[in-house]
Amino acid sequence: MSEDSITVDILAEFVEVSIHCILYSRGVYPQGVFEKRIKYNVPVQMCLHPGVCDYINNVIDSIKMLLLHGQVEKISVVILKDETSVPVERFVIEIGSLHQNWKE
């Protein structure tokens, strides 16, 4: 396994945990579908709903492929209002030129 793929795996796991935490803290889904787990030595809430988990996993897999090719600058999670689909909150993880800085 290359150094680049290890870096991508770590970053992808961080993004995955971040998405779960955003969904929990913003009340996007009922609290009953979340379970406390330990990540990075910190308790976090992770969703257990299979449909939500599949969706997040598909997004993470896509992000990993783009990260490996240095094609990601920002990752955004946008929460939409149900009735109108108007964005009400946006969370942005800025990657920047990470691909160039991996070796440093």
In which domain, by residue range, is 66 found?
3-101
pLDDT of the residue at 102: 54
pLDDT of the residue at 18: 96
The per-residue pLDDT for range 19-70, each reduced to its tens digit, is: 999 999 999 999 999 999 999 899 999 999 999 999 999 999 999 999 888 8
pLDDT of the residue at 15: 95
Q: Quote the number of domains for the chain.
A: 1
**Which CATH number do you get for residue 51?**
3.30.900.10
CA–CA dist 29, 26 (Å, integer):
8
CA–CA dist 92, 39 (Å, integer):
20
- What are 55's two structure tokens? 């969706």
